[in-house]
Copies of this chain bind each other. A is one copy, B any other.
Amino acid sequence: MTFVTDLLATVTRRSRQLIGWGPEETTRRSPADILQLADQLLSRRGEASGVALARDIISSYRALDAKGRTAVLGAVAERFAADHDKLQAAIADYQADPTAAATAQLHVAAEPRRQELVRRLNLAPGGTLSLVRLREDLLARLPDHPELKVLDSDLVHLFSSWFNRGFLVVRRIDWSTPANILEKIIRYEAVHAIRDWDDLRRRLQPEDRRCYAFFHPQLDDEPLIFVEVALTTEIPGAIGPLIAEGGMPVAADEARVAVFYSISNCQDGLAGISFGSFLIKQVVEELKRELPKLATFVTLSPVPGFARWLKQEREAEPSELAAEDREALQLLDKPDWRANTLAAEWVDRVLARAAARYFVAAKSPGGRPLDPVARFHLGNGARLERINPGADLSASGLRQSHGVMVNYLYDLPRIEENHEAYAERRAVVTSAAVKKLAASKS
Which A residues fall within an 8 A CB radius of B?
Answer: 1-15, 44-49, 81-82, 84, 87, 91, 94-95, 98, 100-101, 103-104, 106-107, 110-112, 119, 122-123, 127-128, 150, 153, 161, 164-167, 169-171, 175-183, 196-197, 201, 215, 217-218, 220-221, 277-278, 281, 381, 415-416, 419-420, 423-424
How many copies, total?
A: 4
Instruction: Report the separation of the CA atoms of residues A101 and B153 in the bound assembly, to the nearest whole angstrom.
Output: 10
Complex contacts, A98 vs chain B, CB 8 Å = 84
A238, chain B: closest CB distance, angstroms:
29
* Of the residues B1, B45, B49, B419, contact of A12 by C-beta under 8 Å: B1
B424 and A7 within 8 A (CB): no
The 9 A-B pairs with the shortest beta carbon distances in the complex, nearest first, are A107-B110, A8-B8, A2-B2, A5-B9, A100-B150, A176-B178, A45-B423, A106-B110, A7-B169
Residues of chain B contacted by A221 (CB below 8 angstroms): 3-4, 176
Q: Which B residues lie within 8 Å of A101 (CB)?
A: 150
A300–B197 Cα distance when bound, in Å, is 30
The answer to whether A166 and B8 touch across the interface, beta carbons within 8 angstroms, is no
Contact A107 B111, beta carbon cutoff 8 Å: yes
Q: With the chains together, A167 CA to B119 CA distance in Å?
A: 14
Partner pick for A123 among B3, B127, B166, B183, CB 8 A cutoff: B166
17 A-B residue contacts at CB 8 Å?
A: A2-B2, A3-B178, A5-B12, A10-B169, A14-B166, A46-B419, A48-B281, A48-B381, A48-B416, A106-B110, A107-B107, A107-B112, A127-B166, A176-B179, A176-B181, A177-B179, A178-B178
A420 CB contacts on chain B under 8 angstroms = 44-46, 49
- Is the Cβ of B104 less than 8 Å from the Cβ of A150? yes
Say how far A315's CB is from chain B's closest CB, in angstroms.
37
Name 17 extra pairs, CB < 8 A, besides A47-B165, A48-B281, A107-B107.
A1-B9, A3-B178, A8-B8, A10-B170, A11-B167, A45-B420, A49-B420, A100-B150, A107-B111, A128-B166, A161-B161, A175-B178, A176-B178, A176-B180, A176-B221, A178-B179, A217-B217
In the complex, the answer to whether A166 meets B122 with C-beta atoms within 8 Å is yes
Task: Quote the shortest CB–CB distance from A374 to chain B (angstroms).
Answer: 18
Whether the pair B104, A112 counts as a contact (CB closer than 8 A) is yes
Cα A44 to Cα B416 with chains together (Å) = 11
Is B112 within 8 A of A11, CB to CB?
no
A5 and B2 contact, Cβ closer than 8 Å, known pairs A107-B111, A179-B176, A179-B177: yes
Residue of B nearest to A110 (CB): B107
Supposing A123-B165, A166-B15 touch, asked if A217 and B8 sit within 8 A by C-beta, the answer is: yes
Partner of A46, one of B7, B104, B112, B416: B416
